[in-house]
Chains A and B, each alone.
Chain A
Amino acid sequence: MNAGTLFSSRSARLLLGLLAVLSLAPLGVDDYTLSILIAVLLQAYLGMSWNVMMGFAGQFSLGHALYIGLGAYAAGALFIHFGVSPWIGVFAGMTVSVAVSSVIGMLGFRFKVMGVYFALLTIAFAEFTRVLFDHWGWVGASSGLVLPVTNRVSDDFWLLRGSTSMFYYLILAMTVAGFLFSRSLLMRRIGYYWQAIRENEDAADALGIPVFRYKMIAVVISAAMTSVGGMFIAFFSNNLFPESIFSMHRSLELILGPIIGGVGTLFGPILGAVILTAMGETFTILGEHVGIDGVKQIAYGICLLAILIVKPNGVWPWLRHRLGLDGDGK
Chain B
Amino acid sequence: MSDHTTIPSSSKGITRRQFSATAATGALLTTAAAGLPLRKARAATPLKLGILLPRSGHLALIGQACQRGADVGLAMLKEMGYSVEFMNADTESNPDVGRTQAEKLIREGANMLMGAFDSATTLAIAGVAEQKGVPLVVNIAAEPKLTEQGFKYTFRNFPSAGMLGKGGLLLYKDMFAAAGVTPKTAVLLHVNDSFGMGMLNGINALMPKLDLPFQIVETIAYDPKARDLSIEVAKAKAAKADFVMTVTRLNDAILLVREMVKQQVETMGITSPGSPGMYDKQFLKALGKYAEFCSVNIPWFDPKQEMAAQLQQRFEKAHPDESCDLNVGFTFEAVLIAADAHKRAGSNDPAALTEALRATNIAKRVMIGGAIKFEANGQNMNLRSAVVQNLNGKPTVVLPAESAEAKFVFPMPPFKSRG
- A-side residues, CB < 8 A to B, are 14, 17-18, 21-22, 25, 29-33, 35-37, 39-40, 134-135, 141-144, 146, 148-152, 163, 237-239, 241-244, 271, 274, 277-278, 281-282, 284-285, 287-288, 293-294, 296-297, 310-311, 313, 317-318, 321-324
Contact = CB atoms under 8 A, between A and B. Distances in A.
Contacts of B28: 21, 25
A244 B120 contact: yes
A210 B29 CA distance: 44
Interface in B15-58: 16, 19-20, 23-24, 26-31, 33-35, 37, 39, 55-57
A144 to B, nearest CB: 7
A293 B90 contact: yes
B361 interface: no
A161 to B, nearest CB: 11
A238 B198 CA distance: 21
B3 A313 contact: yes
Contacts of B151: 149
A32 to B, nearest CB: 4
Given A150-B130, A288-B89, A293-B60, 10 more contacts: A17-B20, A32-B104, A36-B31, A144-B119, A237-B96, A239-B95, A243-B120, A271-B26, A285-B34, A318-B3
A234 B67 CA distance: 30
Contacts, number: 168
Contacts of A148: 149-150
20 contacts: A14-B23, A17-B24, A31-B132, A33-B34, A35-B99, A36-B30, A36-B100, A39-B100, A141-B197, A143-B143, A239-B123, A244-B120, A285-B33, A287-B90, A296-B56, A297-B56, A297-B57, A297-B92, A310-B1, A323-B13
Given A239-B123, A317-B3, A323 B30 contact: no
- Chain B at the A interface: SS class: helix
A32 B34 contact: yes
A151 B1 CA distance: 52
Interface of B: 1, 3, 5, 7, 12-14, 16, 19-20, 23-24, 26-31, 33-35, 37, 39, 55-57, 60, 63-64, 88-90, 92, 94-96, 99-100, 103-104, 106-107, 119-120, 123-124, 126-127, 130-133, 143-145, 149-152, 161, 194-195, 197-198
Nearest to B29: A278
Given A29-B31, A237-B96, A35 B103 contact: yes
B127 A21 contact: no
Contacts of B30: 33, 36-37, 40, 274, 277-278, 281
Top 6 A-B pairs ranked by shortest CB distance?
A: A324-B13, A142-B194, A30-B37, A32-B103, A281-B33, A293-B55
A151 B131 contact: yes
B3 A288 contact: no
